[in-house]
Structure 1
Amino acid sequence: MNVSISGHHISVTDAMNTAVREKLEKVERHFDQIQSIQVILSLDNSGANDGGKKSHKAEAIMRVSGQEMFVQACEDDMYKAINEMADKLDRQVRKYKTRQERKKVRGAGRDGRYEEVSGVEVAPAT
């Protein structure tokens, strides 16, 4: 799994890097077919001048075969944002995996219905 972590208006410390990688290991345990994950950690100072709080944002774009998943989390603490972002990504991965497993169980769909109907004899038209 290829993980890239970058910062926007913030420098990514070793502690942030470690926290992100540890949280993403949990996601990888649930689904091992991840091609890449791009994480962007950013700091929004727009409300800081007015006495508002700084907003920390963690975003992730994950690529799996045939699909791209995006999540973002905004919190007043960067580590809370990282935790929330990882939890959201984990939920999306589990949902995606469940959908993939359902498709395998159902199969083509038409074949199963055909077998159910094929047992019934149809009288020839006159």
Structure 2
Amino acid sequence: MQINLTGHHVDITEPLREYVTTKFAKLERHFDNVVSVHAVLTVEKLEQKAEATIQLRGGTVHADAVATDMYAAIDALTDKLDRQVVKHKEKLTDHHRSEGAIHRALAEE
């Protein structure tokens, strides 16, 4: 997974970069087909905003979060993305396969 991190009115320090990297690495435990991540960290007066776009095999997921602390905004962002990635993964799985086997078994009786 390739992570592209951009700062808007904020310097991306090494601890901040490591924090973002570890948080986004946890997304791969649910769905290993993450191609790339583009994250933008923004500071506007008292608001700290984190937004990200994830390129997945089969789609794109985008989310953003605003908090008073940058680390809290990153946590909220990864929670939102985690839910969306799990939802995307559920859509890709074929839930109708087992239904056909049940109908065939009932028809044979």
The answer to whether TM tops 0.5 is: yes
TM-score normalized with structure 2 length: 0.86
Q: Which residue matches 2:37?
A: 37
- Give the counterpart letter for 1:41 in structure 2: L
Percentage identity across paired residues of the two chains:
35
User: Higher Cα Rg: structure 1 or 2?
Assistant: 1
CA displacement at 1:99 relative to structure 2? 1.6
The runs of at least 4 consecutive aligned structure 1 residues that moved more than 3 Å come to none
- Determine if the alignment matches structure 1 residue 106 to structure 2 residue 96: yes
Q: Which runs of 5+ in 1 are unaligned?
A: 46-53, 120-126
Aligned partner of 1:68 among 35, 60, 63: 60
Secondary structure of 1:105's match? Answer: coil
Q: Which residue matches 1:124?
A: none
Structure number having the greater strand percentage? 2
CA RMSD of aligned residues (A): 1.6
Q: Which residue matches 1:20?
A: 20
Q: Which residue matches 1:122?
A: none
CA displacement at 1:100 relative to structure 2? 1.3
Aligned partner of 2:77 among 85, 102, 105: 85
Report the count of equivalent residues.
102
Q: Which runs of 5+ in 2 are unaligned?
A: none
Q: Which residue matches 1:11?
A: 11
TM-score normalized with structure 1 length: 0.75
